[in-house]
Amino acid sequence: MSSTIYKEFAVFTTGINNDINGIGVNLFDEGTEIVMVLSASYENNVDATHAKWHCDYIGTASDMLSDYVPKMVRYFDTSHARAAFLKNGEAFSRHISKLYMAADPVTLNELSQRGIMGYSWSIEEYEHANIGQEPIEYEYFSTKRAGFLLGSEEDLEIMIKQSLMIRLKAKNHVWAGRPWLAVSNGFH
């Protein structure tokens, strides 16, 4: 059975709440803050040295706790997700809650320390979130993607806003609005 092996999780606050500068995105019932969950992971059929950082979730803290965490708990309980430091889904839930309670604001420095230099969306996703700088268009196998470099805190804020716009279009689906993170010098 294929599974994702997690080496680390990180939870960040974003300083963004239900007012995201007039873009008209409203994912909020309670108006909670937007949070970001990153994970360092690899597939079990790949060498562990190939673990890289992924964006697991961007959305409201309340949806993280009521939707993302329960889905991940199920993946840990069914061994679709595994981590040496997490025994089961309950341990994952406790771990994410602990990280959330101690979460610091996400910064460009936090991302660059993890080797994250940019991000990308599929062209279809980007059509729903066409804000910010012009993308670097490239092909990944047969898929066209829109890539962006993270050069400033404003670029990071735009990525988060793009994510929220894509989630809105996807009716707030928990797995929507997760950019591919460009680690080191390449988009893939």
Q: How far is CA 113 from the centre of its chain?
A: 16
Residue 168 has pLDDT above 60, yes or no: yes
Which pLDDT does position 171 carry in this prediction?
Answer: 87
Q: Who contacts 164 (Cβ-Cβ below 8 Å, separation ≥6)?
A: 16, 20, 23, 25, 27, 34, 58, 59, 177
CA angle 106, 111, 117 (to 5 degrees): 135
Structure pTM? 0.90
Inter-CA distances, 85 with 53, 88, 90, Å: 17, 9, 12
Contact 16, 91 (CB under 8 A): no
- Dist. CA 130–CA 142, nearest whole Å: 22
Sort strands 34-43 and 4-13 into parallel, antiparallel or unpaired: antiparallel
Contact 172, 60 (CB under 8 A): no
- Dist. CA 135–CA 139, nearest whole Å: 13
Q: Which tokens is 76 given?
A: 């840990």
For 64-86, write each residue's pLDDT tens digit. 999 999 999 999 999 999 999 99
- Delimit the domains of the chain by residue range: 4-183
Helix (H), strand (E) counts: the chain: 6, 9
Which pLDDT does position 186 carry in this prediction?
Answer: 61
Contact 147, 182 (CB under 8 A): yes
Mean pLDDT of 138-150: 92
Mean pLDDT of 6-21: 82
- Dist. CA 145–CA 136, nearest whole Å: 8
Residue 18 has pLDDT above 70, yes or no: no
CA angle 33, 101, 59 (to 5 degrees): 30
Mean pLDDT of 105-109: 96
Contact 81, 75 (CB under 8 A): yes
